[in-house]
Amino acid sequence: MQTYARQPIAFVRGEGVWLYDAAGTRYLDALAGVAVNGLGHAHPRLAEALCAQAGRLIHTSNLYRIPEQERLAERLCRLTGLERVFFCNSGAEANEAAIKIARLYGHDRGIENPAIVVMEKSFHGRTLATLSATGNRKVQAGFEPLVTGFVRVPFGDAQAVARLAEHHNNIVAVLVEPYQGEGGVNVPQTGYLERLRQICDNNGWLLMLDEVQSGVGRTGKWFAFQHTDILPDVLTLAKGLGSGVPIGACLARGVAAETFTPGKHGSTFGGNPLACTAALTTLEVIEQEGLLANAAEVGAYIRQDLAERLSGVAGVREIRGQGLMIGIELDRPCGELVQQALARRLLINVTAESVVRLLPPLILRREEAALLTATLAEIIGVFLKGRMP
């Protein structure tokens, strides 16, 4: 169906940060399948692990124990400090699980009409509940009636969340991205998550973090919340978790981890042996190749180098982000930069109309990053000068 406005190009193979079309032309991938291919393309350890797993078992169903799923759950709990995991197949599904947990949590406490606080400019997925939670009218338009039970406030404004507690007695949770991705790579002020944690604690609300984009090494830590010293009650993951093999996860701790009992939720594919092997191998490679430190270091270099190259260029509003989640905000819509970069054999993305977004593989090296920044700064420079009022 006509759900995508695709670029007129196809890739037939990849290697590391490079993608190749059928003619053998090479493209530098600074988008990584939208924060999915953290290990780059055709990582030999992942390919080998997947082939071996496919030769043993791909799927058995959640009617039986799945050792790979149990190992992955243990590993994720150790990395996050959370206690239980539900596995599904996408980010939207992980957030659906979080929303259902919040509602069960509310009903368990006698709240008949539980509401979840969500943010302006947020993105949580395309299913009915997650598009209703999303703070973007374009994502919602035409799909009314929306799912009710969401209360929206501006992103980054902890005071606005605190004020809700004075007027609503049915709020049960706050759902927020630590760094907004689709909304424009928006970075909140220092202390924002800590303030939300406090407000949730004071009111008995669950703090639910959507790290579908920011998780699994993207920001230079395993998870973005680990740039602070707080723990969420619920955490959702997907994108980078399986390096392209579909897998999502909803983690929880404390009472939130006990709300789902047999029969309350489920998934046929969720957490199957193949997907869990992809995720286990992804986590192993990130650790063994030191990719968290690499993402932090190369990301800082990209932001610094772009700031230097674009300093004094009128029309560049802000260069921001954390690790390899980077946004360059311009003063005007810049969707056409995607084609201009493609013509220079560079894959980037534009989100929120005027923000160039970079989400390169976590394996990106400094030499490759230097090629990226040089090409991108040139394209942006030409674009802004060509269209100056």
Ligand X SMILES: *Cc1c(COP(=O)(O)O)cnc(C)c1O
Write out the catalytic residue numbers: 123, 210, 239
Stretch that binds ligand X, among 14-22, 138-146, 205-213, 366-374 (CB under 6 A): 205-213
> Counting contacts by CB under 6 A, is residue 210 touching ligand X?
yes
User: Nearest residue by C-beta to ligand X?
Assistant: 91
Which C-beta is closer to ligand X: that of 132 or that of 213?
A: 213
74-85 as b/e: b if 16+ CB within 10 A: ebbbebbebebb
For residue 370, the minimal CB distance to ligand X (Å) is 27
> Counting contacts by CB under 6 A, is residue 218 touching ligand X?
no
- DSSP conformational letter for 56: H
Measured CA to CA, the distance from residue 62 to residue 59 in angstroms comes to 9
The bridge status of strand 171-176 relative to strand 115-119 is parallel
Stretch that binds ligand X, among 66-74, 84-92, 148-156, 369-377 (CB under 6 A): 84-92
For residue 331, the minimal CB distance to ligand X (Å) is 25
* Locus of tokens 């939208």: 34
Q: What type of residue sits at position 191? A: G
Which C-beta is closer to ligand X: that of 224 or that of 310?
A: 224
One of 92, 237, 319, 350 touching ligand X (CB under 6 A): 92
Stretch that binds ligand X, among 207-215, 256-264, 271-279, 282-290 (CB under 6 A): 207-215
Angle, CA of 206, 67 and 246, to the nearest 5°:
60
> Counting contacts by CB under 6 A, is residue 340 touching ligand X?
no
For residue 289, the minimal CB distance to ligand X (Å) is 24
> Counting contacts by CB under 6 A, is residue 96 touching ligand X?
no
Q: How far is CA 167 from the centre of its chain?
A: 31
Write the CB contacts of 132 (distance below 8 Å, at least 6 apart in sequence): 140, 146, 147, 148, 150
For residue 248, the minimal CB distance to ligand X (Å) is 6
Coil, strand or helix at 21? coil
For residue 211, the minimal CB distance to ligand X (Å) is 7
Residues in a beta bridge with 237: 249
Whether the Cβ atoms of residue 150 and residue 116 lie closer than 8 Å to each other:
yes
Stretch that binds ligand X, among 57-65, 122-130, 347-355, 360-368 (CB under 6 A): 122-130
For residue 122, the minimal CB distance to ligand X (Å) is 8
Whether the Cβ atoms of residue 372 and residue 305 lie closer than 8 Å to each other:
no
Fill in the per-residue mask, 164 to 193: x = in contact with ligand X (CB under 6 A), - = not in contact: -------------x---xx-----------
Which C-beta is closer to ligand X: that of 187 or that of 380?
A: 187
| Strands of 108-194, DSSP E | 115-119, 150-153, 171-176
Q: Count residues binding ligand X (CB under 6 A).
A: 15
Which C-beta is closer to ligand X: that of 249 or that of 376?
A: 249
Which C-beta is closer to ligand X: that of 133 or that of 298?
A: 133
For residue 36, the minimal CB distance to ligand X (Å) is 9
Q: For residue 145, is the peptide bond before it cis, meaning its omega torsion is within 30 degrees of 0? A: yes
Measured CA to CA, the distance from residue 174 to residue 118 in angstroms comes to 6
Whether the Cβ atoms of residue 35 and residue 240 lie closer than 8 Å to each other:
yes
Stretch that binds ligand X, among 54-62, 78-86, 90-98, 104-112 (CB under 6 A): 90-98
Measuring CA to CA, which residue among 265, 266, 267, 270 is closest to residue 247?
270
Whether the Cβ atoms of residue 124 and residue 118 lie closer than 8 Å to each other:
yes
One of 41, 43, 103, 124 touching ligand X (CB under 6 A): 124
Rounded to whole angstroms, what are the CA distances from 161 to 26, 97, 117, 165? 47, 23, 8, 7
For residue 188, the minimal CB distance to ligand X (Å) is 14
Stretch that binds ligand X, among 117-125, 283-291, 295-303, 356-364 (CB under 6 A): 117-125
> Counting contacts by CB under 6 A, is residue 91 touching ligand X?
yes
Measured CA to CA, the distance from residue 333 to residue 235 in angstroms comes to 33
Interface positions with ligand X (CB under 6 A): 90-92, 95, 123-125, 177, 181-182, 210, 212-213, 238-239
